[in-house]
Amino acid sequence: MQCFFCGADVGDSHVCYNCGADILLYKQIIYTSFVFYNQGLEKARVSDLSGAIDALKTALQYYKYNTRARNLLGLCYYQVGELVLALNEWVLSKNLQENNPDADRYLADIENTPGLLSKTNSIIKKYNQAIEYCKSGSKDLAKIQLKKVINQNGNFVKAQQLLALLYIDEKKYFDARKVLSQAASIDANNTLTIKYIHEVKAALKDKNTGRRKKKNDTVSFADGNDTVIMSEKSFRSMLDNTRASFVNILLGIIVGLLICFFLVVPTVKDNMKDGNTDTILALNEALAESNSKNEGLQSEIDELKESLSAYDDKQDVETSYDNLFAAQNYYSTGDNEAASEYIQLVTKDVLGEQGQQAYDNLYSLLSPTILQGYYDDGNSFYGEENYESAIINFKTVVDTDESYDSGAALFLLGDCYRLTDQTDLALECFNKVVELFPNNKWGRQAKVYIAADDTELDAKVVGE
Amino acid sequence: MIDFEEELKRFEPAIEVEQAEADIKARDLTDLTDLLFNMTAQNNGTK
């Protein structure tokens, strides 16, 4: 080790043999400085920032080159909202020790945060302004400024303490307690904060005790327009009487309910049962009556239906003869289509023997025209993709003549079945077509369908 | 009981940013090692 005074090498000796400087004392000073630094560090770790600040200041009074202590002091100032003091410490630290990465980092952080210094300055100015307002007696203005300061920097302990002091002065102890709790959460062991907290607690305790005492003395309540004030004892005895009355009423209600349950309810139930039985009997009678009436009405309806059908037959005889004669007339004039329409309106069964013979003769003559009509209608419906109606028409044709139009009617009937997903019926028709006309176009196409079992081909393909 | 006026005296204006440099310059950085140095210098001078 070198002598702090002359720079001579002193080794482990307590005195410098060159200049006589007290090396032991020097070592003790530096050691003490680091002891205070350790204390400061411990206190800072448990949020006792004011204690840490005191210890670190002492450490620096012993040995100003204790850079760690100075950097930590800056951090503590920063934490309690004193940014300018923090900056001062870090700048000094950097000046006293060139190679100082911690101070470099802190200063760089502040420089790299845009607007931090101007914001800090504005906060400090507001705080200073608040102190001025307090001194001039404008406490409301001071409170407004301090609230702004705390909003902008929630760690500014001094501002919180001053605001708490103002609240205490106005006897707003709850507000003061709230602000002081916030301050204590930042700097746990600050003497001033603790002092104010004690003051607030004591004041709140007095307040509560006062209230209780008042409560214990008298009781007051409104009785109509009057306010009744009585001692607590009298009030209690009155309450006891009221309680007894209340219990009596409650017992009365319970007894009433029990009587109702055991005596009244069974009677009511019996009455209801009797009433229900009567109702059921009456309903049964009404039902039987209705049934007999219904039977009578049904027989009446049947009679009426019979007479109506007789009347219809009578009417149909006349119409049928008219239609038969009209068909005969049109046939004789060569209008086979009109004749075929009229003959289809004739009911053969209502005609006499001669009439039926005439009908059969004429019908056999008009049969080709009638079938042609059904076939044409079937084709029209087929073209309109109305396959259900087409089936009715083609079926009428096929029922009369399976080989109509060289099997075209039968094939188209099959095709209509195919298109309406009635595959079995479709295949039945196609097989018949192949059986009757194996070599014409309908037969060939039917073979294609049967061979491929492809009943989903397009109708147009079939036509082609 | 807290005396507001007395308590208010504890609160001093905070240092503003513009005053930081002046504050640093005004600091007395003398520590115990400086005093020891001076004492040693005085002792050596008297000898």
Q: What is the ipTM of this complex?
A: 0.91
**For domain A352-463, is the CATH number 1.25.40.10?**
yes
Q: Are A22 and A45 in contact (CB under 8 A)?
A: no
pLDDT one-digit tens code per residue, A124-149: 999 999 999 999 989 999 999 999 99
Residue ranges, CATH 1.25.40.10, chain A:
23-113, 119-214, 352-463
pLDDT over threshold 80, residue A219: no
A64 and B33 in contact by Cβ < 8 A? yes
B9 touches chain A (CB under 8 A): no
Q: Is A166 helix (H, G, I), strand (E, B) or coil?
A: helix
**Band of the pLDDT at A463, cuts 50, 70, 90?**
very low
SS (H, E, C) A292-343: HHHHHHHHHHHHHHHHHHHHHHHHHHHHHHHHHHHHHHHHHCCCHHHHHHHH
Highest mean pLDDT among A157-166, A344-353, A400-409: A157-166
pLDDT at A220: 67
B38 touches chain A (CB under 8 A): no
CATH level 3 topology of A119-214: 1.25.40
**Band of the pLDDT at A453, cuts 50, 70, 90?**
low
**Chain B residue with minimal CA distance to A96?**
B29
Helix (H) or strand (E) holding A388: helix A387-400
Residue A422 vs residues A375, A388, A413, A414, A436: alpha-carbon distances, Å: 21, 11, 11, 9, 22
Q: What is the pTM of this model?
A: 0.52
Q: Shortest CB distance from A158 goes to which of B14, B20, B23?
A: B14
CATH level 3 topology of A23-113: 1.25.40
pLDDT at A461: 46
Number of domains observed in the structure of chain B: 1
pLDDT at A458: 47
B40 and A120 in contact by Cβ < 8 A? no
CB under 8 Å to A213, separation ≥6 — which residues?
none
pLDDT one-digit tens code per residue, A45-93: 999 999 999 999 999 999 999 999 999 999 999 999 888 999 999 999 9
Q: Which residues of A touch B (CB under 8 A)?
A: 4-5, 19-22, 25-26, 29-30, 60-65, 82, 84-85, 87-88, 91-92, 117, 120-121, 124-125, 127-128, 131, 134-135, 158, 161-162, 165, 168-169, 192, 195-196, 199
CB under 8 Å to A387, separation ≥6 — which residues?
A381, A416, A419, A420
What is the average pLDDT score of chain A? 86
pLDDT one-digit tens code per residue, A364-413: 888 888 888 889 989 999 988 889 889 999 998 898 888 888 889 999 99
